[in-house]
Amino acid sequence: MLKQLNIGKDETFMITASTHKNYCFMDVPYLPDGRQVYLYKQNNRHMKRFLIHISIAALAFCLLYSCKPEELKPVGDPFDKAELMVGTWDVTKVTQVDVDATLKGYPLYARELDITNVFPNNSYTDVSITLNSDQSFALVKGNAFVNWPVSGTWELNHPDHPSKLYLVSQFDTLSLNFSSFSDLMMSPAKLVVSETKKQKVDEEYIEVIYYNYEISKP
């Protein structure tokens, strides 16, 4: 594009305008006194594109940084469940659960029955079990109808994530299931252990009743 530029009173020069990226440059030849003139104006359209690209790049960087996974540091050592099991545990409640009624979705009153004091002179609260640090145990039954070994050794099926407590006697091994360890570190500590009764049906033993023992220790 040609434009006319007036320099001084009598001198006229022709200038050319060319677009280069973000600016439009207009060049003129040397003036009579030897100076060369460079005129330019900003190209707003290209500048807007440049700013948009910068904004998009900044947003992408922020999103990428915010999605960076954080390294989770361990909070202390896991507590020793076997060590916390040591002590004397007293039975506070016993619930009988009908397995078949539970599987069929019967109402709660038809599935579970509190039998803690169903026999007035044979309360289950008479029962206590002492788990010693040398892995031995001793059971006090009182008058309760509990068919558990009275002495022997105890162990967990897994040191870090146990799901069963084994009471091992000379003649038999009783397996008790754990439901949760959430209250093991509380004071008093609490646990629920379950004993399963099975019945032989068509040459196969199936689970028919659970006995949930709620136990606690100071």
The mean pLDDT of the chain is 77
Provide the whole-model pTM. 0.62
The per-residue pLDDT for range 80-121, each reduced to its tens digit, is 888 999 999 999 999 999 998 888 888 998 999 999 999 888
Cα(40)–Cα(18) distance, integer angstroms:
9
Q: Is residue 44 pLDDT above 60, yes or no? A: no
Token pair for 172 = 């038999």
Alpha carbon distance 151, 78 (integer Å): 30
Q: Is the pLDDT of residue 142 over 60?
A: yes
Question: How does DSSP classify residue 135?
Answer: S
Report which residue type is found at 211: Y
In angstroms, the CA 206 to CA 60 distance is 60
Q: Which CATH number is 81-217's, of 2.40.128, 2.60.40, 2.40.30, 3.40.50?
A: 2.40.128
Comma-separated ranges of CATH 2.40.128 domains in the chain: 81-217
Single-letter amino acid code for the residue at 164: K
Q: Which residues of 43-64 are buried (b: 16+ CB within 10 A; e: fewer)?
A: beeeeeeeeeeeeeeeeeeeee
